């Protein structure tokens, strides 16, 4: 009996499971929150430029749609003006973060019984999301070898980021060969470091892209110059 106790890992307590669930969801929400914060900050700065000369409420309401158009123009112009290597890295990180956040939130929703999401089962076997992740990543690599052109490379970078995100999200399962996704073992430091590093990298690249966009739009007279 004691030998069996040593072979069979103890079942995690409710608190351990709850803590791992919460940390995983916080990681997913964190990536979304950081992206939203960057976009909101950029919009606020551009809105401030449009309303710097007049501060009445009516002018603020009229300037809001214009500032939104300014934000889109800055993002597009900055993306176009960004060197190819940086746009590829940005697309790769964006795909990774998007897949990471989406899969963490969807698996949490499935676990809690929320929303339309359900586990995928084929022939009675549960298909983990690292399977499509590996297929997407491999397919992207093959497509990168067979195609040329900046547009196709940017799309392939996003797809590869998605594949990497889906695969590394279940790194614990691949390493331990058992389903520890929601257990404390599932919170491997590699997942946290990858999510943190990718978030910081994508944030820096986004700010660089937006900065270039602001400079180009100012030079073209599309947005008011900073004071």
Domain annotation covers residue 177: yes
Does residue 226 surpass a pLDDT of 80?
A: no
Whole-prediction pTM value? 0.62
Query: Do the Cβ atoms of 197 and 31 come closer than 8 Å?
Result: no
Mean pLDDT (the chain, rounded): 75
Domain annotation covers residue 5: no
Identify the bridge partners of residue 125 per DSSP, sorted by sequence position.
Answer: 122
Identify the bridge partners of residue 126 per DSSP, sorted by sequence position.
Answer: 121
Domain annotation covers residue 115: yes
User: What is the three-class DSSP state of 9?
Assistant: coil
Domain annotation covers residue 191: yes
Tens of pLDDT, residue by residue over 148-201, are 888 888 899 999 989 988 887 776 676 665 555 555 555 554 565 566 567 767
Domain count, the chain: 1
Query: Do the Cβ atoms of 99 and 169 come closer than 8 Å?
Result: yes
Percent over 70 (pLDDT), the chain: 69
The number of angstroms, rounded, from the C-alpha of 32 to the middle of its chain's C-alpha atoms is 7
Domain annotation covers residue 2: no
DSSP H helix total and E strand total for the chain: 8, 2
Tens of pLDDT, residue by residue over 179-191, are 555 555 555 545 6
Tens of pLDDT, residue by residue over 31-72, are 778 778 888 888 888 888 877 755 566 566 777 888 888 888
Domain annotation covers residue 180: yes
Domain annotation covers residue 3: no
Domain annotation covers residue 226: no
Q: What is the mean predicted confidence (pLDDT) over 80-90?
A: 83
Give the range of the structural domain holding residue 206, as residue numbers without chain letter.
11-219
């Amino acid at each position: 009996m004691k030998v069996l106790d040593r072979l069979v890992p103890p079942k995690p307590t409710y608190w351990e499971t709850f803590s791992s669930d919460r940390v995983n969801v916080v990681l997913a929400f964190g990536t979304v929150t950081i992206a939203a914060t960057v976009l909101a900050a950029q919009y606020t700065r551009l809105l401030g430029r449009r309303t710097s000369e007049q501060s009445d409420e009516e002018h603020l309401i009229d300037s809001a749609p214009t500032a939104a158009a300014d934000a889109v123009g800055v993002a597009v112009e900055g993306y176009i003006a960004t060197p190819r290597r940086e746009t590829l890295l940005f697309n790769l990180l964006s795909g990774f973060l998007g897949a990471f956040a989406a899969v963490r939130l969807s698996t949490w929703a499935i676990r809690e019984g929320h929303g339309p999401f359900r586990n995928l089962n084929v022939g009675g076997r549960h298909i983990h999301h690292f399977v499509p992740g590996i297929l997407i990543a491999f397919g992207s690599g093959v497509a990168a070898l067979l195609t040329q052109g900046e547009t196709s490379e940017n799309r392939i970078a996003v797809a590869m980021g998605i594949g990497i995100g889906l695969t590394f999200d279940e790194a614990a399962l691949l390493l331990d060969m058992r389903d520890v996704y929601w257990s404390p073992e599932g919170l491997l430091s590699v997942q946290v470091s990858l999510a943190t590093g990718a978030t910081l990298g994508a944030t820096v690249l986004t700010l660089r892209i937006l900065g270039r966009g602001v400079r180009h739009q100012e030079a073209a007279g599309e947005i008011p110059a900073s004071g």
